[in-house]
Structure 1
Amino acid sequence: MNGKPLRSAKLTVRFEEIGRGDVGSVGGKNASLGEMVQALAPKGIRVPPGFATTAEAYRDFIQANQLKERIQELLGALDAGKAALAETGQAIRELFLHGDWPDETAASITTAYRELCQRTGKAEVDVAVRSSATAEDLPDASFAGQQETFLNIRGDEALLVACRRCYASLFTDRAISYRQAKGFDHMSVALSIGVQQMVRSDIGGSGVMFSIDTETGFKDVVVIDAAWGLGENVVQGAVDPDEYQVFKPLLSAPALAPIIGKKCGGKAQKMIYAVGDKPTRNVPTSKIERTAFVLEDRDILALARWAAAIEAHYSCPMDMEWAKDGETGEIFIVQARPETVQSRRDAAAFRSYTITRRGRKLISGLAIGDAVVAGRVCLIENARDIANFVDGAILVTGTTDPDWVPIMKRAAAIVTDHGGRTSHAAIVSRELGLPAIVGTGNATEVLHGEQMVTVSCAEGDQGFVYEGTADFETEMVDMTNLPQTRTEIMLNLANPAAALRWWRLPADGVGLARMEFVVSNHIRIHPMALVHHDQLKDEAAKREIAELTAGYADKTEYFVDRLARGLARIAAALYPKPVIVRMSDFKTNEYAGLIGGAQFEPEEENPMIGFRGAARYYSPRYREGFALECRAIRRLRNEMGFRNVIVMIPFCRSTHEADQVLEVMAANELRRGEDGLEVFVMCEIPSNVILASEFAKRFDGFSIGSNDLTQLTLGVDRDSAELAGLFDEQDAAVKWMISNVISAARKSGAKIGLCGQAPSDHPEFATFLVDCGIDSISVSPDSFIAVKRKVAMAEAAMKNGGKRNNEGA
């Protein structure tokens, strides 16, 4: 709340007494905790109780121990180049650690602690002791992780020791260098200490949460990282956490579960309570813990709703820490601060990278950022050796913490063995604008010093390190002056991992989302091998399937769950605009290449015009597999809430076949017109053009697949190198087909678009389509701008006296 500022003489205050207007007295972290206790606890958001020391208490400590002049002398020597950073930081910290508490301050802290014990009903309540600098968590600077946190602290004496160590941590090497870089006066910054009841997440779980996608700046998603035990391992990047993604616009409907991403992390260790000198320690996780999700869906949704509420209250994207109590099962928010990187990025312009030639893939991990960088590896496995870093090299290490920041600033890119999207390496890389790949698992084993590699974060959620120097192109995309068009310009998307990259493009929806890409890359198993797993003859495939489906009691649920969430990411990218999902269109040789697939696929001489598309859906050979696809679409639309999804049927040869497919869909509870479901058909066979008016009675719209339509109109195998010169989507016969089906669709009142490659490769082809009166054109994202402008020019020409062509070439 923004009430009256604190009376300056106070040395400690309860969280209930402070709000976001008190940053100058209690720092950003504690001010935010107080704000949440006052404003958000009444709305059901749980925040553990506690109190804060004030800036006044810090200044009293400085004055009582006569530290100001001595600190200034040491910092002056550093500025003059007479002392090293490490030497200076160590000397200043020793001053604090050997200082004495003023009696009044010590009494105020211990009294507030005993009051907290009474409030919680514990003789010596275990608390977290966190630093909160008065200059931290500002909209244009993040001091996250700069100062220390001490967990599982009990008793007056231990608390005073931890508080003194918090004061000392205001002058860690990284804190000193960060303030210098940001232009903050060291002596004008004070330190408040937050003392907060511990959540027993040591026997539960904890993690970090953002109310914005940390890689793309997509504002409609909540990203949650989770690991077993106390949260320090997630923050420090010491573990590979689970990652969940939730779509915010659909959270307001209690019946929906819009979790669009769930990834189970390795979680090799967890931090728990300990006894003796060290109050916490790391222990290995069990095999069950490593393969299980930390949070159930209801917890994921509850956290996401809290994130949305916190963001709405603060009116900006937020970076939060949460903890789940293993004793009570309750979840708490233990920190919240403004997100400082993506929320400040210019949404009107972004740089796009495209790799045109690459070497052998060496390793992969989570991509941080969206750039491509080539350079030499500098492998450093221990923080003691960071002085050996070579400026401009690619830093490769196990994990990073704030001690690494000085050399991270000098790196071209960063690659780590461990960590998730909210790890230290990821957060710092974003703030520095560096591409990074975290959680590779084995970068320090595979890569070696002086090796020339390319780090690519431009291919979606996954980042890749390639051998040698790759060729790549960069383009600055500016959308401020894009013209408006009557013809809708949509996107062809296939990769869920990369879908959110394109949310800034003012596209009119997704004209083609390829289901088979999701199946081949995110599922990898033939659906019939899951339906009939017990009948599989390939023992190696059986073992691989068992490994991939670990955690799924029903193996078919693995297919449905992964497919629904993969398509959900594509549906979310441009929600609520329409997203046309084409049902699977593998050829038999491609299906056979999936794990366990060879047993269920016939061998064909010409798979291109064989057992594919609609023919599979009602066939006994695949009907059960199609049922799984329908289950995934039902979940996507009805349980997750993506009613903007339209279903499209590929390679439908006849109206009789159309009727059979619609009948099978209805048997699987997907009925055209029910709950607003629209069903389109691909126009890629001459029969689709010849009988367009009849197909229009059965479907809501057409999408012209110009590749297959060209192949079958001209009788040219599109994959034949010998006939490549004959394959031309702009051939007069092909254009006649396209012109006539557009005309027939318009007369029948059906929607019609084109999702082929031609407008992407040849923007002038878009002029022909506009002239024919097409409703929409769907193109690859990298050609969206060019096609949009070409369409605008064509429409302007028609408006100024051009003539619509309904007769083809």
Structure 2
Amino acid sequence: MSSGETPSKPSTDGTCLVHDFEDGRRSDISIVGGKNASLGEMICALKTEGVAVPPGVATTAQCYWQFRDWPNEEKDAIILAYHWLSVEVGVEDLGVAVRSSATAEDLSDASFAGQQETFLNVSGEQALLNACRRCYASLFTDRAISYRQTRGFDHLEVALSVGVQQMVRSDLSGSGVMFSIDTESGCDKIILINAAWGLGENVVQGAVNPDEYQVFKPFLNKPGVVPIIEKRLGGKEKKMVYSKGESSTRNVPTSKAERSVLVLNDLDILQLARWACTIERHYGCPMDMEWAKDGMTNQLFIVQARPETVHSVRKVGTFQEYSINTKGKTLTTGCSVGDAAVAGRVCMIQSPTDIDAFIEGSILVTETTDPDWVPIMRKAMAIVTDHGGRTSHAAIVSRELGITAIVGTGNATYVLHTGQDITVSCVEGETGYVYDGIANITSKTIDVSKLPRTSTEVMLNLADPSAANRWWRLPCDGIGLARMEFVVSNHIRIHPMALVHHDLIKDEAVKRVINQFTADYKDKSRYFVDKLALGLARLCAVAYPKPAIIRLSDFKTNEYANLIGGAQYEPKEENPMIGWRGASRYYSSDYKDGFALECKAIKRLREELGFTNAVVMVPFCRTVEEAVKVQNELAKNGLKRGEDGLQIYVMCEIPSNVILAHEFAKHFDGFSIGSNDLTQLTLGIDRDSGELAALFSEQDEAVKWMIAKAISRAREAGRKIGLCGQAPSNDPSFASFLVKCGIDSISVSPSSFLAVKRNVAKAEDGIEQGFTTVS
């Protein structure tokens, strides 16, 4: 090109060697490969909908087939296209990302994740040509050949396109990966975003533990709502930045300040989430996307989008349920990948060059994986890594290969050793557990499409927000019992009064621990409100738009005392089971400031996060006078019964609740029978007593009489009544008794749902055949 000559836009005729992204479509996979075809599709079709994609050009398959001797025609076409792109952007020798795009990749059943090379911050003609040459060569590395063999692709039929795309200055900000569904459960209401500082390769390759955000899709366009239901701070131990010299990028350690804060603010998270919905809607399938934020302009970009390749090909209506028995002690934990469990022997490998040392069928333990590891990963029973998040290379490839994995443990290579027998469990939610020894693992296939319909609602008892998504496919009628205590004890861990009156804590060691937990909060009590609201949101999200009945805190004093800072605020009781618990705490001067935090969390849950399906339930309400006092405290804290559709239920777990059901009904919208406590107090048996265990039975005639009376009296008062105790879960046939009593709903553990649902259907069919109900 002569000096001063303006380069022309790459042509689009059938023999052209380079395409402008803007002229590409997703149907052009055979011409420019899956990645580049998708980028062209988004620039062309989604620009008007606000989705920002950096401009670029792509070499064609024709260019690849002519490549063997690097003819001048190809070189010139690439150089001219590069100069044209530089002029378009307005930067001489534009810094670009050079990415491989195979004609068989980014398909709905094969992602080819990371199989070919990517080069970042490439600038200048010679550097660009070198990067293109290395991209072509990467089509025939061991890892790429191995992957094609696994997926059944002919090596000589796959061509490669090279994408040359303007670099986003995420080295000055952050970048990451995003999925339009939950990666583990396939829940289509959730958007998952991972983020780390610097260029995105560290997140993709799993070299860092990233931040994680979850967004509830149905509320994204709901005015006044911020539906971010999870913000999890990652370690983000290093970041990739620009470099001078031979290597165009390098990794540097992140600062303490960078590690202690989230990469994205709420506006960024919501912007990316809306783009994910737009892209998913346009492509008509769940999507896997990469994004980057420019640190100079603060603008967000989508730099890659491809179909999600795991849940999109699963059989609808079925899932596999695993359970673990006789497990050993916990050795380490991390992010779970998949929803299975396996047991086997460790084989620790430090480098993919040690492939000959790996014993096929072993559990691979290593620091991290990249595409070079695929030949070893294919031979592994399970995979455990020190680094990486749920969108890392190890996670994506493990899902695609159907291998159970735990990533981001931080210490697996330190605490495990070759030859050790372990169990790898991903069946307990988003946290994966490595247990010592070989546990007993059982599994069964669940086909929810064959479940009968019932008039009696069958709901779920849930407590752990991180495990809630795995049950989204169950056709339940909502959550009948969401246990707040789990969120407080496992996610918050601090006594609410120790946060409200932080300055009054006497134990300096306790104060230091609290300061560490709440370092980002000037108002320590806000930590409790935020954590509780987000934890409850993840439970409500599974049920939405069906109700999620949230039981207010029901710790006993000894349990409250075990929370950080709790010993200072809790009395020692001889019998905490029937002591200062439930409703009696909420209006007490010794706890009502702590109860106010629970109320603020639920208010935020309903108003800011949008989960108006949340129903409040008061536990252990002994008297009608207590009911009035609790309602007053709720109203003082912004939770007034009937306002904005708020319903307030009461637990029916004390004989007085049954005896005065008509009076309690004047103050509550519904009842939920707690069969454990009702049995305990009807029979006068401490439910935790080993000596009296044989006498403790919800099937006792006195207990059944109380339950039947509670149901009939609630219905007479025009109030809904359900049961959320353990009885139907332990003995699904107990559901038949409840149906015959005319109960509105039964709430059970997820593992009992199918059996209870079938028993309810049988009981309802029996009533239709002429059985009489219990009076």
| TM-score bin, normalised by smaller chain | over 0.9
Residues 436, 457 of structure 1: 8 Å contact kept: yes
**Displacement of 1:681:** 0.3
Equivalent residue for 1:482, pick from 441, 446, 451: 451
Q: Indicate yes or no: 2:557 matched with 1:588.
A: yes
How far does the alpha carbon of each residue in 1:449-489 deviate from its partner, in whole angstroms, 9 at most, with x for none? 10111111111110111111112322221212111101000
**Residue of structure 2 in register with 1:515 after alignment:** 484
User: What is the DSSP-based 3-state SS (H/G/I as helix, E as strand, rest coil) of the residue aligned with 2:66?
Assistant: helix
**Residue of structure 1 in register with 2:22 after alignment:** 16
**Residue of structure 1 in register with 2:618 after alignment:** 649
Q: Indicate yes or no: 2:556 matched with 1:556.
A: no
The one-letter amino acid paired with 1:240 is N
**Displacement of 1:123:** 1.2
Equivalent residue for 1:48, pick from 51, 54, 70: 54
Residues 426, 438 of structure 1: 8 Å contact kept: yes
User: What is the DSSP-based 3-state SS (H/G/I as helix, E as strand, rest coil) of the residue aligned with 2:433?
Assistant: strand
**Displacement of 1:751:** 0.5
Please show how residues 758-797 of structure 1 align to structure 2 within 5 Å: 758-797=727-766
Q: Indicate yes or no: 2:319 matched with 1:319.
A: no
Equivalent residue for 2:350, pick from 378, 381, 388: 381
Please show how residues 398-437 of structure 1 align to structure 2 within 5 Å: 398-437=367-406
Please show how residues 226-237 of structure 1 align to structure 2 within 5 Å: 226-237=195-206
Residues 347, 504 of structure 1: 8 Å contact kept: no
Cα distance in 1 for partners of 2:615, 2:199 equals 43
**Residue of structure 1 in register with 2:38 after alignment:** 32
**Residue of structure 1 in register with 2:5 after alignment:** none
**Residue of structure 1 in register with 2:248 after alignment:** 279
**Residue of structure 2 in register with 1:529 after alignment:** 498
User: What is the DSSP-based 3-state SS (H/G/I as helix, E as strand, rest coil) of the residue aligned with 2:672?
Assistant: strand
Residues 620, 654 of structure 2: 8 Å contact kept: yes
**Displacement of 1:371:** 1.0
Q: Which moved more, 1:176-185 or 1:415-424?
A: 176-185
**Displacement of 1:745:** 0.7
User: What is the DSSP-based 3-state SS (H/G/I as helix, E as strand, rest coil) of the residue aligned with 1:771?
Assistant: helix
Equivalent residue for 1:102, pick from 57, 60, 71: 71
Equivalent residue for 1:269, pick from 220, 232, 238: 238
Residues 222, 245 of structure 1: 8 Å contact kept: yes
Cα distance in 1 for partners of 2:703, 2:651 equals 15
Q: Indicate yes or no: 2:641 matched with 1:672.
A: yes
User: What is the DSSP-based 3-state SS (H/G/I as helix, E as strand, rest coil) of the residue aligned with 1:125?
Assistant: coil
Q: Indicate yes or no: 2:132 matched with 1:163.
A: yes
Cα distance in 2 for partners of 1:554, 1:7 equals 63
**Residue of structure 1 in register with 2:63 after alignment:** 57
Cα distance in 1 for partners of 2:645, 2:100 equals 53
User: What is the DSSP-based 3-state SS (H/G/I as helix, E as strand, rest coil) of the residue aligned with 1:768?
Assistant: helix
Q: Indicate yes or no: 2:505 matched with 1:505.
A: no
Residues 398, 404 of structure 2: 8 Å contact kept: yes
**Displacement of 1:687:** 0.6
**Displacement of 1:553:** 2.5
Cα distance in 2 for partners of 1:406, 1:6 equals 38
Cα distance in 2 for partners of 1:284, 1:15 equals 35
Please show how residues 737-756 of structure 1 align to structure 2 within 5 Å: 737-756=706-725
Residues 209, 321 of structure 1: 8 Å contact kept: yes
Residues 8, 25 of structure 1: 8 Å contact kept: no
Residues 496, 570 of structure 1: 8 Å contact kept: yes
**Residue of structure 1 in register with 2:117 after alignment:** 148
Residues 490, 777 of structure 1: 8 Å contact kept: yes
The one-letter amino acid paired with 2:648 is V
**Residue of structure 2 in register with 1:451 after alignment:** 420
**Displacement of 1:384:** 2.6
Q: Indicate yes or no: 2:303 matched with 1:297.
A: no
**Against the structure 1 CA distance between its residues 6 and 693, is the aligned structure 2 distance closer, same or farther, given a 3 Å change threshold?**
farther
Q: Indicate yes or no: 2:277 matched with 1:308.
A: yes
Cα distance in 2 for partners of 1:383, 1:324 equals 32
Residues 108, 312 of structure 2: 8 Å contact kept: no
Residues 6, 22 of structure 1: 8 Å contact kept: no
Equivalent residue for 1:727, pick from 696, 707, 712: 696
CA root-mean-square deviation? 1.0
Q: Indicate yes or no: 2:146 matched with 1:181.
A: no
Equivalent residue for 2:652, pick from 676, 680, 683: 683
**Residue of structure 2 in register with 1:7 after alignment:** 13
**Residue of structure 2 in register with 1:351 after alignment:** 320
Residues 614, 652 of structure 1: 8 Å contact kept: yes
User: What is the DSSP-based 3-state SS (H/G/I as helix, E as strand, rest coil) of the residue aligned with 1:507?
Assistant: coil
Runs (5+) with no aligned partner, structure 2: 1-10
The one-letter amino acid paired with 1:47 is V
**Displacement of 1:17:** 0.6
Residues 203, 210 of structure 2: 8 Å contact kept: yes
How far does the alpha carbon of each residue in 1:622-644 deviate from its partner, in whole angstroms, 9 at most, with x for none? 11111111111011111111111
**Displacement of 1:254:** 3.8
**Residue of structure 1 in register with 2:677 after alignment:** 708
User: What is the DSSP-based 3-state SS (H/G/I as helix, E as strand, rest coil) of the residue aligned with 2:665?
Assistant: helix
Residues 6, 18 of structure 1: 8 Å contact kept: no
Cα distance in 1 for partners of 2:322, 2:278 equals 35
Cα distance in 2 for partners of 1:382, 1:396 equals 11
Cα distance in 2 for partners of 1:241, 1:776 equals 41
How far does the alpha carbon of each residue in 1:224-256 deviate from its partner, in whole angstroms, 9 at most, with x for none? 000000000000100000000101011111421
How far does the alpha carbon of each residue in 1:746-800 deviate from its partner, in whole angstroms, 9 at most, with x for none? 1111000000000111112111100000000000000101010011001001001
Please give the TM-score of this superposition, normalised by the length of structure 2.
0.98
The one-letter amino acid paired with 2:573 is E
**Displacement of 1:372:** 1.2
Cα distance in 2 for partners of 1:378, 1:548 equals 36
Q: Which moved more, 1:333-342 or 1:404-413?
A: 404-413
Equivalent residue for 1:198, pick from 167, 174, 178: 167
User: What is the DSSP-based 3-state SS (H/G/I as helix, E as strand, rest coil) of the residue aligned with 1:643?
Assistant: coil
Give the length in aligned residue pairs: 765
Q: Which moved more, 1:186-195 or 1:265-274?
A: 186-195
User: What is the DSSP-based 3-state SS (H/G/I as helix, E as strand, rest coil) of the residue aligned with 2:450?
Assistant: coil
Cα distance in 1 for partners of 2:76, 2:355 equals 42
Residues 113, 397 of structure 2: 8 Å contact kept: no
**Residue of structure 2 in register with 1:333 after alignment:** 302
The one-letter amino acid paired with 1:228 is W
Cα distance in 2 for partners of 1:769, 1:271 equals 60
The one-letter amino acid paired with 2:17 is L
How far does the alpha carbon of each residue in 1:503-560 deviate from its partner, in whole angstroms, 9 at most, with x for none? 0111111000000111001111111111111111122221221222222232211111
Q: Indicate yes or no: 2:566 matched with 1:597.
A: yes
Q: Which moved more, 1:344-353 or 1:450-459?
A: 344-353
Residues 596, 637 of structure 2: 8 Å contact kept: yes
Cα distance in 1 for partners of 2:12, 2:332 equals 53
Please give the TM-score of this superposition, normalised by the length of structure 1.
0.94
**Residue of structure 1 in register with 2:580 after alignment:** 611
**Displacement of 1:6:** 5.5
Q: Which runs of 4+ in 1 moved over 6 A?
A: none
Question: How high is the sequence identity, in percent, across the aligned residues?
Answer: 67
